[in-house]
Amino acid sequence: MASERSAAAIRDAFLSGRRSAVQIAEDCLARAMAAQRFNVFSRVLETEALAAARALDRRLAAGLAMPALAGVPFVAKNLFDLRGHPTLAGAAPRQADAPAARDAAVLRALLDAGAVPIGLTHMDEYACGATGENVIGGAVRNPWDPSRITGGSSAGTAAAIAAGVVPLGLGSDTNGSIRAPAAFCGIWGLRPGTGRLSTQGCFPYAESLDAAGPMAADAGSLALAWRALRGGASDALVSGHGRLRIGVLRAGFAEHAEPQAWNAVLRVAAAFTSARMIDLPDVDRARDAASIISAYEVARNHLRHGFAGRHAGYSAMVRQRMLAGLALPDDWYRTAQAWRRVWRARMQTLFQDVDLLLTCATPYAAPPVGAERLVGEQGRIYAPRADAGHMTRPVSLAGLPVVAAPVAVPGADMPLGVQLIGPPGGEAPGLAAAMRLEEEGVCGFPAQPRPADGR
């Protein structure tokens, strides 16, 4: 996205009087309609956007103090409650449900910070997917190449940002649903540490792993959104990332990645003065534990939400996933949770010797829509629906904060992503490193897809 469309630049244009909040909102709404060719929005919020913008213009004219994101447009995954609208969660039958009575906590935090809601975005059905393909609503298309997927399940939010509609948005991430679409679409994403932000008003997937977080066109916008989501609390963003000690998670990751994806990690690692390879045992066991916990919890969450009486409204794929989850024995779940505690302690111990960990965000760049399998450069066979989150699940299991950073690798025509993994409570080091990496041109995808407004 062009720099004049960053959150900071938009806010400055509004506060300086160069552009009214209504003008900013109207331009974004026009881009939102143009972006529908990528199947981005389940609902464009014209009424809400213009009402919020008019209120901000009146507040500025009255000389009142302005909040941190005043005038900045944003989108939200249609997994978050927005008062007055049904929360679709990617499922068409939920259109007949009662509208939400109040806003989700993270959505309300952005509204309170003066951000202007532009739309609710498409996603995988009930967040049960990693590709952004929904048999009910269709595939969300990647603005870089509409023949390719966005990743999921925060698909529409990633596409809206990549297409230049807005500088930031809300997504959710259980096992990679912010990080994979951020990587595939060449934008930035933050999966906060588990429990760092409220998930109140977010339709649950697996409650012990779920996290809500921001996605953005640039690292600065991501940091501004994080601060707003934290209620204005400012974590210190330490400069001088060259002095950070970096650990590169290699074993269990590198062998599953395409060469270009791994080269993206090495490119980022080379920007630091101190980086060493780390080979953790049992990474696949961590993946299995995350999968068991997710399957067990999502099935029981849906049982509580009426699956027994509403199963006919589920697609066959998601219905089968629920049934398989309900069949998992309780002792499997208990064993997986016990292993999770071991894995979390093992990952946290690494931060005695390093400040940040790096590894791939996805094993490859965005594959074609509808691809059931891919054959990699070295003959490895991938199944995107199953392994787009292969690199993110072990990190989710540890509950650590992660910035997904977009990287351009020579010879790659699509974005790739790298995970900048911080210690518990350490979103700030990842964000600070992200901003410096972007400033130095190491991270960020330099070319841009054609903006949604055609400019």
Amino acid letter for position 359: T
147 annotated active-site: no
Residue 171 forms beta bridges with which residues? 213
Task: List the Cα angle 396/181/157 in 5-degree steps.
Answer: 110
* Token pair for 19: 């552009």
* Token pair for 37: 């060719």
Instruction: State the catalytic residue, choosing from 6, 154, 177, 396.
Output: 177
Nearest by Cα to 364 from 392, 388, 396 = 388
CB burial readout 413-429, b (16+ within 10 A) else e: ebbbbbbbbbbbebbbb
153 annotated active-site: yes
291 annotated active-site: no
Instruction: State the catalytic residue, choosing from 153, 172, 221, 396.
Output: 153
* Cα–Cα separations (whole angstroms), residue 233 to 32, 68, 114, 254, 428: 31, 11, 16, 36, 11
β-pairing, 73-77 with 116-121?
A: parallel
Secondary element (H or E) of residue 420: strand 416-421
Contacts 24+ apart (CB under 8 A), 341-346: 343/282, 343/285, 343/286, 343/289, 343/394, 343/397, 343/398, 344/397, 344/398, 344/399, 346/280
Instruction: State the catalytic residue, choosing from 6, 20, 42, 77.
Output: 77
Residue 173 forms beta bridges with which residues? 211
CB atoms within 10 A of CB 42: 22
Secondary element (H or E) of residue 437: helix 427-439
Phi-psi category of residue 155: left, alpha or beta, with phi > 0 → left and psi -120 to 50 → alpha: alpha
Active site positions, annotated: 77, 153, 177
